[in-house]
Amino acid sequence: MITDYSEIIDRVLIDEESLKLKIKQLAKTINDYYKDKDEVILVGILKGSVMFMAELAKNLKIDMKMDFMVVSSYAENTYSSGNVKILKDLDIDVKGKEVLIVEDIIDTGYTLRKTKENLINREAKDVKIVTLLDKPERREVEIKPDWSGFKIPNEYVVGFGLDYDQLYRNLPYIGILKRSFYEDIEDAK
């Protein structure tokens, strides 16, 4: 068990205060966009979006429902396979509804593109995307968020919902994982 996160975190990329401030700014923009719309369905992409979605929802002043999907293209790797699978689907019918996909990070774009296409095919009235982190340098497919918190460099990040092997989601900040930490573990597999 790691109790000193300096063993795995190279540096803090985005501190807790900056995260909260940016999420409030995103919520204000989203509130303005949806102010004259019917209820919105927030679709969180599990598991990484939980912290972001909870903080965002606390700051939204619109009629909304929340639901979740588990959509993955990573399996147990640190890189996207490009093969996207829906592992847990929505409970709410999105036909004719305003949908806001809430994502923790856009990396290659495979997962998000497939998710958006899926919701459009279900005849959602409109599908928008908000992401906390955007890593455009890694993009392999064309997908752009409607709202984005932070553009980040091509580094492996953890914290505030983002994980490495299901760990470190609980960190209150976004930190860059030490390359030696995950390369050593990946080499051992």
CATH code, domain carrying 66: 3.40.50.2020
Question: In the prediction, which pLDDT does 2 show?
Answer: 63
Judge contact between 164 and 1, C-beta under 8 A.
Answer: no
| pLDDT higher at 94 or 183 | 94
Could you tell me if residue 3 is inside a domain? no
Judge contact between 85 and 72, C-beta under 8 A.
Answer: yes
Question: In the prediction, which pLDDT does 184 show?
Answer: 59
Could you tell me if residue 189 is inside a domain? no
Could you tell me if residue 27 is inside a domain? yes
Q: What string of H, E and C letters represents the secondary structure of 14-35?
A: ECHHHHHHHHHHHHHHHHHHHC
Q: What are phi and psi of 34, to 5 degrees?
A: -95, 5
**pLDDT tens readout for residues 110-154:** 889 989 999 999 999 999 999 999 999 999 999 999 999 999 999
Could you tell me if residue 4 is inside a domain? no
Could you tell me if residue 56 is inside a domain? yes
Q: Which domain holds residue 64?
A: 9-31+38-72+86-181
Whether cis (ω within 30° of 0) applies to the bond prior to 114 is no
Could you tell me if residue 187 is inside a domain? no
Question: In the prediction, which pLDDT does 82 show?
Answer: 60
Rounded Cα gap, residues 146 and 188, in angstroms: 39
Work out how many domains the chain is built from and give that number: 1
**pLDDT tens readout for residues 46-86:** 999 999 999 999 999 999 999 999 987 655 554 555 677 88
Name which of 132, 120, 125, 130 is nearest 174 in CA terms.
132
Name which of 54, 32, 33 is nearest 42 in CA terms.
54
Could you tell me if residue 175 is inside a domain? yes
Tell me which residues are annotated as active site.
107
Question: In the prediction, which pLDDT does 189 show?
Answer: 46
Whether 26 shows a pLDDT value over 80: the answer reads: yes
